[in-house]
Amino acid sequence: MTANAARSVSKRPVYVICSDSNNTLGISSRHYKLQFMGITDEGVHLKVLCDSPDTNGRELFVSPKALQFKKKERRLMRCERESDSIIPVPRKFPLSLVRDQIPKIQVVPLRFGTGLFDGNFKNVLKDDYHRHISLCAYNDNAEQFEHHGCNPGKPMGPGGGNACSRPFQHLGHAIGIPTGPFRSLNQKCPMKLANSSVVQYLSAKTILDIAFNRIMELLLANPDKKVVYYSAENENDNIGLGIFAGSVGIDVVEQITKKLKNLPKDFQKFWIKHYEKHGTIPQAPPINHNDNYKKVMEYSFTPTPVNPCPVQYSF
């Protein structure tokens, strides 16, 4: 290992737990003591310490997400000085090593009655595979948007048009983008946010910023979701208004469409900001046994079991 290849090595031996079952040496911390040696371009550098002369001192490289520092090690490491050339904060590895973990999001317009899924969100949600790898962004009214933000785990009944997907919102397969109906981006609307107990008067532009922040929080919490579907006009990629046609200002339509197109790039920045703050890679949520298309649609107008692990929105 060259001097410039590795990050740095602690003067005091630091031991880790490795859950990487795919490493080429077939070594895990269940059988051996693994010393953390630093970080290289090849991954996290570990050295095996044991009584066997054939295995002792062997080196291996594993993925950062396969590593876990023991509580005692984390506590002691915080006490060491930076001048001691110690290793970085536990589990927070250089962004270059985890950048390939950022989901690549696609935003796909659907046109009702034609093309992919016949342009119908119901057809997306009926398919178990596509339901779990995608998110249906439907047009919603401000009141329902407010209610879901304050009660993210509770089911809601369907609405007209693409809001037929609303019953799947509490399960994380759909999410409402409030179109108001807003006459303009400057229109004020009373809104109680997820982190507040008081009603505020917010502009439509601010509410849309909050809506797209929720979309990114939902995608962050569900890394298996790679596609965002939305309903588009037949002539262009602007959002289709359906039952809200004529009630929503053109600047509102253009703003929503712009934010949808910028979502892949904005989500990458959002993911990186989260990683830099928390140092963790989001994992998929546990399986929800209430996640069944027929069950959800049959009971969409009656109380159905809540989602025990909903996304807790910031706003």
Tens-digit pLDDT profile for residues 79-106? 333 333 333 334 456 677 678 789 999 9
Residue 76 pLDDT more than 50? no
Q: Spell out the SS3 assignment of 239-301.
A: ECCHHHCCCCCHHHHHHHHHHHHCHHHHHHHHHHHHHHHHCCCCCCCCCCCCCCHHHHHHCCC
As a whole number of angstroms, the distance between CA 34 and CA 46 comes to 6
99 Cβ contact partners less than 8 Å away, ≥ 6 residues apart: none
Is pLDDT larger for residue 71 or for residue 270? 270
Average pLDDT in the chain: 80
162 Cβ contact partners less than 8 Å away, ≥ 6 residues apart: 112, 121, 136, 138, 139, 231, 240, 242
| pLDDT the model gives residue 265 | 97
Least confident of 63-77, 146-160, 263-277: 63-77
| pLDDT the model gives residue 257 | 98
Whose CA is closest to 137, among 148, 151, 149, 121?
121
Write the pLDDT tens digit of every residue in 198-213: 999 999 999 999 999 9
Residue 144 buriedness (CB in 10 A; 0-12 / 13-18 / 19+): middle
134 Cβ contact partners less than 8 Å away, ≥ 6 residues apart: 124, 173, 225, 226, 227, 228, 229
Write the pLDDT tens digit of every residue in 137-173: 999 999 999 999 999 999 899 999 999 999 999 999 9
pTM of the model: 0.73
| SS3 state of residue 218 | helix
Write the pLDDT tens digit of every residue in 197-253: 899 999 999 999 999 999 999 999 999 999 999 999 999 999 999 878 889 999 999
As a whole number of angstroms, the distance between CA 65 and CA 264 comes to 23
Whose CA is closest to 127, among 114, 118, 137?
118
| pLDDT the model gives residue 139 | 96
**What is the pLDDT averaged over residues 24-48?**
61
Residue 27 pLDDT more than 60? no
What are the strands of the beta sheet with 134-141, ordered from one edge? 106-110, 227-231, 134-141, 174-180
Per-residue pLDDT band at 175 (split at 50, 70, 90): very high
| pLDDT the model gives residue 77 | 41
Determine how β-strand 227-231 pairs with β-strand 106-110.
parallel
**What is the pLDDT averaged over residues 45-70?**
70
DSSP H or E stretch at residue 173: none
As a whole number of angstroms, the distance between CA 20 and CA 1 comes to 21
**What is the pLDDT averaged over residues 264-275?**
94
Phi, then psi, of 254 in degrees rounded to 5: -65, -40
| pLDDT the model gives residue 57 | 78
277 Cβ contact partners less than 8 Å away, ≥ 6 residues apart: none
